[in-house]
Amino acid sequence: MKSYKAAAVQMTSLPNLSQNLTQAEELIDLAVHQGAELVALPENFSFLGDDQAKIAEAEKIHHESEKFLKTMARRFQITLLGGGFPVPVGNGKVYNTALLVGPDGEELSRYEKVHLFDVDLPDGNTYLESRTVLAGTHLPPVYPSKDFGNLGLSVCYDVRFPELYRHLSQMGAEVLFVPAAFTAYTGKDHWQVLLQARAIENTCYVIAPAQTGNHYELRYTHGHAMVIDPWGTVLADAGEKPGVAIASIQPSRLEQVRRQMPSLRHRTFV
């Protein structure tokens, strides 16, 4: 693992595939020009619309999303995470899939979101992700990158389930991806503190790309894409507008925190 710059991209994705991919390309270009070698796009980067529209276009979204990720990774010579897009599985349902792609355009790792966002919020909004999404059945993988460290995958709502990240740390994760489309209502109270908790308790870097703003009708997201270090310090915060949060990932910092706070070695119940 070397020292490098990582970027968490922040988007306002819409129910418009081509427009979203154009926005994503512009933000990847911005991140690369600022020195990023590892770039992460948020959940629903290629399409954020209602369930009916998502299912109607699922085949096209899937095909174009994978093609886009592989093309961008090759063009910019980066390792690129697409934080979540629909992959059809039949019967009107999809997997919410995160895909990690290397600079040669080859797939490195894939994760199908396990925890689905089925909630009734106090602001009157109801979310029922399971209506169109089939939950994954496998724990997320850790991809061992010689350059970027051991990369653990997750998606959005997963961040509320610390046992998933303990699994990733037990598998050797050093950097945790948390791509999200966090609701505006929950995000203001929970987003940053949950990300910091996952970083602190696992002594890992966290790269958390995000959606922001109004996407359609009453669908608003919180923004604040972040990069957080293993001590829980927020290194970069993209605020509330589309953009990028970029910070250096330092193996020496990771080693220092794990040496000074060796909590992973002190676990009693495994």
Q: What is the chain's pLDDT, residue by residue, as a tens digit (270 residues)?
A: 999 999 999 999 999 999 999 999 999 999 999 999 999 999 999 999 999 999 999 999 999 999 999 999 999 999 999 999 999 998 899 999 999 999 999 999 999 999 999 999 998 889 999 999 999 999 999 999 999 999 999 999 999 999 999 999 999 999 999 999 999 999 999 999 999 999 999 999 999 999 999 999 989 999 999 999 999 999 999 999 999 999 999 999 999 999 999 999 999 987
**Which is catalytic among the residues 66, 112, 113, 204?**
113
E strand or H helix that includes residue 143: strand 142-145
Q: What is the CATH number of domain 4-266?
A: 3.60.110.10
Catalytic residue, candidates 5, 70, 156, 174: 156
CA nearest 173: which of 137, 138, 191, 198? 198
Closest Cα partner for 225 from 235, 214, 215?
A: 235
The residues pairing with 223 across neighbouring beta strands, listed in sequence order, are none
Known catalytic membership, residue 43: yes
Catalytic residue among 37, 43, 112, 174: 43
Active site residue 113: yes
Q: What is the pTM of this model?
A: 0.97
Q: Where are the domains of the chain?
A: 4-266
Q: Is 204 among the residues known to form the active site? A: no
Angle, CA 70 vertex, CA 28 and CA 88 arms, to 5°: 110
